[in-house]
Amino acid sequence: MPKIQAATVAEHRATQRRTLLDAARALLAEKPADPPTLAEVAARAGLARPSVYQYFASREDLFSVVLEEAFPRWSARVSTEMERAGGPGEKVLAYARANLELVAEGEHTLARSLAAFAAGGEFADRSRVLHQQLGTPLTQALTDLGAADPAVTAQLINAVVNAGSQLIESGATLDSTAARVRELLTPYLLGG
């Protein structure tokens, strides 16, 4: 039996599980178009491939946990930035900036990897629901702003943010991209 490397077996198991999740996350970020195998995750974590099955039943199970961690982290970051902003227009601008920051930090690459893996089934359905939840604070801010159709306006604003995301992922700087996005959205959101 391998020696545990923590004060208790429970702590050891929690550490090993975290190590596997971090390894999966890193590999997904490095190669977004090629989700890693369990063997690759195990190797990155410094474990034998069969050890992965003590913590996760399958690759889908592992990626589901990565997904369950990624979306709330993204959502919390965006919500925090929106809460710090002033009125509804500033909240929408904070939403755009926070999303662009997360893209610049590599979080979008992880999300794209998970989306590529989630081509169908329950995993894809869960991914879609979590993604829709990310737009709730934006729609609420637009409702508070008095937008005639907040859902459609949110889609249009997300189109601008997505275009900015693509620019950042193609090498544009966060600051220049965020400035252009703010420049485009400010007349509608702040009337100036």
Report the distance separating Cα 91 and Cα 37, nearest Å.
Answer: 40
Output the pLDDT for position 116: 65
Length in residues, the chain: 192
Task: Split the chain (192 residues) into runs of 10 and give each run's mean pLDDT.
Answer: 66 90 88 85 93 90 82 87 96 96 82 65 67 86 96 95 94 97 96 72
Distance of CA 167 to the CA centre of its chain: 17
Q: Domain with 3 in it: what CATH number?
A: 1.10.10
Residues 19 and 77 in one domain: no
Task: Give the end of a domain, one of 27, 56, 85.
Answer: 56
Residues 180 and 99 in one domain: yes
Contact 157, 96 (CB under 8 A): yes
Report the distance separating Cα 128 and Cα 185, nearest Å.
Answer: 26
Q: How many domains does the chain have?
A: 2
Residues 104 and 186 in one domain: yes
Containing domain of residue 46, as a range?
A: 1-56
Best CA proximity match to 78, nearest among 111, 54, 123: 111
Output the pLDDT for position 160: 97
pTM of this structure = 0.75
Output the pLDDT for position 163: 97
Output the pLDDT for position 126: 67
Report the distance separating Cα 6 and Cα 61, nearest Å.
Answer: 25
Residues 158 and 68 in one domain: yes
